[in-house]
Structure 1
Amino acid sequence: MRGIRGRVVGTYLIITFLSVVIFEIILIYGLVEFYYSSIEAELSRSAQSIIHNYSQYFNNYDLHRDAKVLLESMPGNTVAQVQIIDDKGVLIADSIEPSMEGKKLDNYDVNMALNGKEAAWKGKIPMTGEPVFSVSFPIIRPDSEEVIGIVRVITTLSDVNEILKNHIIILISLGLCIVFLIFLTGLALTNTIIKPVKEITSAAKAMAQGRFDVRVSKRYDDEIGELGDTLNYMAQEVANQQKMKNDFIASISHELRTPLTSIMGWIITINSGDIDSKEELKEGLDIIERESKRLAELVDELLDFSKFDAGIITLRKSVVNLGELLKYIKRQMEPRAERKGITMTIDVDEHLPLIEADENRLKQVFINIIDNSFKFTQKGGYIDIIGRKNENGVLIRIEDSGCGIPEEDLPRVKQRFFKGSNVVSGSGLGLAICDEIVRLHNGKIDIESTVGKGTRVDVILPV
């Protein structure tokens, strides 16, 4: 397995395997120690019991004479092998193998007991190879602290080792089951990650090919689900941008074709020589002039947009008197207001501070905003231009009594290509360019609008 699944499952397996191995080593070690410690304790009790009986009932401490009697005094339920050894290490009595009597024993526990220390030994019988466990206790004369012999108790480990072997097999099998279950859990967990990731990857590839109608289904409310939502949102936004761009291309084609049609029509008419009066000729030339200016404005708007989009626009800053600039723009736009029957007023503070800005670009911003007000304000309405100083710098407010902007369109009116539901002539680039110009001046544009009441545009510029 490669990729995320291989890494996750592999990590799970390694961690689980190591944990299970360490845990089982500790558990098996504890189990073995428990069994062997229990055996040692039981054998020690038996040896101590024999030594106690010997001290109580045999006072002469003649071990060679008392050894057989000592073995016969053991409880009948004793299954362990008991050996009585003299102070030279020679076996003088054996409860199970009397044939061993007379042989000198050289085991670790025997040697330690001869030195007056209790000891245990675990090993194998040389002739049979049978595993055994033995404990040896010294028999000490109370009056002289002399070791006069040893009581050695031995038991076989065959049955215990078999029990331990079964337990170890069970523990190892259980550990392997746990590792396998963790493996299956890791696979199931990675599937909850891999499947959504594959779906997101597939959707992203489809979107890269231009299929922005593809959507990612949200399986889980987690980071991957959030990634899917983000991808869906991106696809929707790109689709909207594509639609706006297509609408823009169709719109700009229409905007360019309309004045060109008028210009071509009048040029053909003039060239044909069918115009008899100077008045009709003058009217035709006036139309050609107006439509040519309209074409020039559209081309300028497209050039501005391309410069802003490429990030190569530069500002030619100088000290600007905003009050004078706004009064000049009002005088320039008044004839249009009179023609449309719209009241246009201006209210600017006398001591509006001077700012450092590109005067021509700011004029472009204010004229574009006022032009939009004219487009959407009916006869009898008003357009107010207000200039004030505030804590953030200078506030220029242009307010009208037009048809207003629908609430759902407000967040997008400054986006490029967006024309809104109130379709009028235009490229859909004007406000986007204005917003970019104001941002280059470290300012901002805020727009508030109510359908049926009008729109208020605030241009805030730093001093």
Structure 2
Amino acid sequence: MTPGAEGEVPSPRRRGLITLQNSPLARKIITFNLLGLILLVGGMLWFTPSRDNLVYQRAAALVAEAELIADVVEARLPTGVPVNLAAGDGLDATETFARLDLRGGTEALLFDTQGSLVAQAISEGGASVAGLERGEDGTLLTNALNRLWDMAAGLLAPSAIPPAGADRIADARALGLRALEEGTVVETRSDNAGHTVFAVAAPVLQDGRAVGAVAVRSAAGEIDRLVRREREQMLRMFIVGVLVSIGLSLMLASTIANPLSDLAAAAELGRDRNARAMSPGRIRIPDLTGRPDEIGRLSAALRGMVAALYDRIEANEQFAADVAHEIKNPLASLRSAVGTLRLASREDQRQKLLEIIEHDVRRLDRLVSDISNASRLDSELVKEEEKPFDLLRLITTLNEHLGEEARAKGIEFIADLPAQPIIVHGLENRLAQVFVNLITNAISFCEEGDAIRIWARKRENRVLVVVEDTGPGIPENALTKIFQRFYSERPPEHFGNNSGLGLAISKQIVEAHGGVIWAENIRPTDADPASEPLGARFVVGLPV
């Protein structure tokens, strides 16, 4: 079939990602992917252990620094001589602290046992050390995200760190007095700007007796800057992840939303009232069967469904045309008989015309009844529930009734059925209708002295039921037509006694059960195929 032929489905049109801006499915895919990423990064930022690790490491480093300074002071104290740090007796504390090289904004203070400030040293920055340079500042976007995070964290979980006092010297003095009694102590505070400040106090010992305390205080916000820098790196990765997620989501959505949109557009075209004006030919479902996924399956299913619907529509149209044609024949005969009846003067002519009228009325009644049954058959086959039943018992019951009819006509009726039951799934009354049609057809074609044989055999996963007769057989040119609606091949004396729907209905019922039915002539073995048949054979195959 050429690309433009009727029923041919064109390839789906190529569309870019920009068309997904109007796709709810694409927006959902992107939203759900971003939600997962946001929850992951937000959870890492909220429950991050890095801040705790940094706090611990910085506090441990500050403890080591405070104890080291205390050891330096202790090393310069004389042994065995009482020392008064405030009076400078035995130690020049100011000169010792002046030599301390503190970095990073650290402040060191020395107190005596009374809490008096003896010496103080403050970091002046100093030269940078290779390998310890700070990284570059964040970008405008990450800085904005950082501020938003700080605001949200401040609202959802206010800091539990106690604020520092207004006088840092007083705070250090209080911590130093604690160290005289408890040993090295660590304290975490926050300044007025909310920055974290660490303070450590370590006792200065002489001969095992505390003679003073060294308090070391970190620069305000030192840990906050480290955490912020780490968060900066995470936010950068988050931005990259967002961009990658959106790009991949758009690619995924383009392989889902665009084909679904094409399929929906084709289906909607068939739904619209003006579909005929828009597309005079068949509705064309995009061919996506090459995709090894659910969309490919959906495309194949829709294409098959549309093809089945068009076949059903065409069958209904053909059925309606056949019905009109079949009804016109008896109606024309009736019209002619009624018109002639008015002109007939002899009683025998009038009686003959009345017999013709009565025959045509019976023919119309039979035809309308058969047409009604045929038109309801599809819906009934779908609605009725299939059940398992014994096929041989059904055939035996039919043989008992129809066999009497055949024998009354002088026809020998033979049944050859297995002893074991054969269970099939289906509609028992509908399959009974099939075998009634086949047997009554055989009886109608047979004459006195002929024979009818019905037999059944099970073959693996199928059962064959055969109805044979020794009648005149089937004309060769009719073998392919006898299952068509309204086709009837009967002697002239039987004209009008059949609607020609029986075998068509039987074929429809058998195929609805997943079976097959065919007809053939019975001929002698090795005989000329053109020789006169010995009878007719109808075979029904059903799954078991």
Q: TM-score by structure 2 length?
A: 0.57
Task: Indicate yes or no: 2:185 matched with 1:119.
Answer: yes
Aligned partner of 2:203 among 122, 134, 138: 138
Task: Indicate yes or no: 2:214 matched with 1:151.
Answer: yes
Corresponding residue number in structure 2 for 1:385? 453
SS in 2 for 1:156: coil
- How many angstroms apart in 2 are the aligned matches of 1:419 and 1:135? 103
Shift of 1:244: 0.7
Is 1:84–1:93's contact at 8 Å kept on the other side of the alignment?
yes
Is 1:114–1:147's contact at 8 Å kept on the other side of the alignment?
yes
Corresponding residue number in structure 2 for 1:234? 305
Is 1:399–1:457's contact at 8 Å kept on the other side of the alignment?
no
Task: Indicate yes or no: 2:59 matched with 1:40.
Answer: yes
Is 1:82–1:95's contact at 8 Å kept on the other side of the alignment?
yes
1:397-417 per-position Cα deviation (integer Å, ceiling 9, x unaligned): 4247766988xx9xxx9xxxx
Q: Which runs of 5+ in 2 are unaligned?
A: 1-21, 124-167, 277-281, 384-395, 420-428, 490-497, 523-536
Task: Indicate yes or no: 2:283 matched with 1:213.
Answer: yes
SS in 2 for 1:134: strand
- How many angstroms apart in 1 are the aligned matches of 2:230 and 2:362? 98
Supply the AA of the counterpart residue of 1:300: S
Corresponding residue number in structure 2 for 1:316? none
SS in 2 for 1:89: coil
Corresponding residue number in structure 1 for 2:121? 95
Corresponding residue number in structure 1 for 2:264? 201
SS in 1 for 2:92: helix
Is 2:76–2:91's contact at 8 Å kept on the other side of the alignment?
no
- How many angstroms apart in 2 are the aligned matches of 1:310 and 1:168? 67
Shift of 1:89: 1.7
Corresponding residue number in structure 1 for 2:175? 109
Q: Where do 1:63-74 residues align within 5 Å?
A: 63-64=84-85, 65-68=89-92, 72=96
Structure with the larger RCO, 1 or 2 (CA within 8 Å, 6+ apart): 2
- How many angstroms apart in 2 are the aligned matches of 1:74 and 1:62? 20
Shift of 1:90: 1.4
Aligned partner of 1:325 among 401, 413, 418: 401
Corresponding residue number in structure 1 for 2:438? 369
Shift of 1:19: 2.3
- How many angstroms apart in 2 are the aligned matches of 1:386 and 1:310? 30
Q: TM-score by structure 1 length?
A: 0.65
- How many angstroms apart in 1 are the aligned matches of 2:351 and 2:115? 145
Is 2:110–2:215's contact at 8 Å kept on the other side of the alignment?
yes
Aligned partner of 1:16 among 37, 61, 86: 37
Is 1:346–1:384's contact at 8 Å kept on the other side of the alignment?
yes
Is 1:125–1:131's contact at 8 Å kept on the other side of the alignment?
yes
Aligned alpha-carbon RMSD (Å): 5.6
1:33-52 per-position Cα deviation (integer Å, ceiling 9, x unaligned): 44443333333223323444
> Percent of aligned pairs with the same residue?
22
Is 2:416–2:455's contact at 8 Å kept on the other side of the alignment?
yes
Aligned partner of 1:255 among 303, 312, 326: 326
Shift of 1:384: 4.5
Q: Where do 1:306-345 residues align within 5 Å?
A: 322-330=398-406
Supply the AA of the counterpart residue of 1:95: A
Is 2:177–2:213's contact at 8 Å kept on the other side of the alignment?
no
1:333-366 per-position Cα deviation (integer Å, ceiling 9, x unaligned): 88xxxxxxxxx863126999xxxxxxx9999654
Is 2:97–2:121's contact at 8 Å kept on the other side of the alignment?
no
Q: Where do 1:381-460 residues align within 5 Å?
A: 384-386=452-454, 397-399=466-468, 419=484, 429-430=501-502, 446-449=515-518, 455-457=538-540
Is 1:216–1:231's contact at 8 Å kept on the other side of the alignment?
no
Is 1:373–1:383's contact at 8 Å kept on the other side of the alignment?
no
- How many angstroms apart in 2 are the aligned matches of 1:333 and 1:262? 31
Aligned partner of 2:234 among 153, 165, 171: 171
Is 1:113–1:136's contact at 8 Å kept on the other side of the alignment?
yes
SS in 2 for 1:42: helix
